[in-house]
Each structure stands twice: as structure tokens, then as C-alpha cells.
Amino acid sequence: MPDHERTPADHRGSPLAALAALLADPTRAAFCSALLDGRAWTAGELARVAGVAPSTASEHLSRLIAGALLTEERQGRHRYVRLASPAVATLIEDLTVFAETTGGPTAEATAGGSAAGTGRPAPRSLREATRQSAEARARTCYDHLAGRLGVAVADALLDRGLVTDRAGLAVTDRGHAWLSAQAIELPPRSGRPGGRPVVRSCLDWTERRSHLGGALGAALCRAALDRAWVERIGSGRALRVTPEGGRALRELLGVELP
């Protein structure tokens, strides 16, 4: 059996090897990448994304669930899967950025060139080019804002002293007051042992600069979606800033998007 097809049990002596084996398969990697939008997907939806048969998708999903990278929920006949935790999302994000910024091209990129030097395959159709352009403007990165929108929000929070990076990223007292004034709440366990970091830097693969993740990034993204400041474009990760959202971003943070 090829190394990349072994189950986690075949790598009991090396948890790192077991994890690497789970992510080494292109189909499983495609599933994890799609699930970075933070939503639950059905096996059929993921099969279509990866271009594999439903039976093949089911086998790969079972491996990812057994390896604790995904979790599943069942509603009637439907099986939904999502990334198991924010920690898993952070791992996938970091690995994706590392792969796309260190010159490790995919087979597709090697054959067809990369998009703007990112290491990602160059778009092969107008539809794909449109999607990539939309994602570069604004998208979700698991459960926080990314693309030019995410970077602009991060810059505004830092410029206004709501977040500081003097001794590592942290929300300032002014930032907590601002969040309270906007009725944006952070999870009670964020920043505590075993909890999610309050705020973390996440390198944006399109902007090559950082946007903000962690509990703060998730809270801001959730507020933007709940208040219709942004809306999803289709079923992917791309977002569109609404007219109301544009006004809110200008008034609250001084963010002006092209």
C-alpha cells in the first residue's frame, strides 16, 4: 500500500506522519480547503468540488473523521461534515499559506503557470478568473474576514489603537470598549488556557499581508454577516460588501474599499 494511502493506524509510531498522510492525498486536501469557508458540507457537495465519485468521497471523509480533522453531523439521510475545530482550521490555513508562498507549486501550477506568482494555478476560464478576483477582494478564511477587506479591517483596528502589536497581538482597553459599543461579544473562554486565542495574525495569500483571526476575527466576521454588511457570493468563500456594509465600515473604522 502506498504511504499516502495508509490510515492513521499505520502511523501509530509517528503522529506527525499520520497527519501528513491524511493531508497528502489531493482529494482529502481539496475537501479541507473547501471546508475553510467555515460551513458544513454534504459528502455529495464535496465530491463535486473534488471531482470524485460519492463512494470515493465517503471513504476519504471517513479517514479525515477518524483522524480528528473533521467532525460529522447527521440530519435524516444527510451527512454533513465540517472542520473539527478552529485549531484544525488554523493548521489548514497555515499549511496552505506555507505551500503557496514557498514556491512549492502544484502539478497544475507547474503545467499551466501560477496566478500572480502565488503558487496557485492560473485561472483556466473566465468563471474561474472571476471567482479568484472576487475572493481576492473579500472572502472568508474559515470564520474570519480575508482578502483586501480583511487586511483593510486589520489595518484600521491597528491604526485606531483598538488592537496593538507592541508585545504580540492583543485587543486594547479601547478595543474592548469599541467592541462593547458595537454589541460585538468575544467568547468567554477566549484567551484562557484551552480556549481560542483572542486575536492572531493570519497571512493572507492574496495580499501577502496579515488579516486577523482568532476569537476577534470570528466575532467581526459573524457580526458582518449577521448585520448584512457582507453577503456570500454563490456557494464559495467569496463575499460582497453591501451598500450598508460600506457605510458601516467607513463610519466605524474609516475603511474605504475600491
Nearest to 141 by CA among 130, 149, 152: 149
- The DSSP bridge pattern shows strands 210-213 and 70-75 to be unpaired
Question: What is the reported pLDDT for 230?
Answer: 96
Residue 121: φ, ψ to 5°: -60, 140
Task: State the residue for C-alpha cell 514557498.
Answer: 102
Question: What is the reported pLDDT for 206?
Answer: 82
Nearest to 67 by CA among 17, 26, 33: 17
Tell me the CA end-to-end span of the chain in Å, nearest whole number. 52
| Cα 167 to chain centroid, rounded | 25
Question: What is the reported pLDDT for 116?
Answer: 45
pTM of this structure: 0.73
Is the separation of the CB atoms in 150 and 204 below 8 Å? yes
SS3 75: strand
Give the tens place of pLDDT for each residue, 27-83: 999 999 889 888 899 999 999 989 999 999 999 999 999 999 999 998 887 889 999
Strands annotated E in the chain: 41-42, 70-75, 78-83, 139-141, 144-146, 163-164, 170-171, 200-203, 210-213, 230-232, 239-241
Taking the C-alpha atoms of residue 145 and residue 164, their distance in angstroms, rounded to an integer, is 18
Q: Which residues of the chain have pLDDT under 50?
A: 1, 105-119
Task: State the residue for C-alpha cell 499551466.
Answer: 112
Residue 78: count of CB within 10 angstroms of its CB = 11
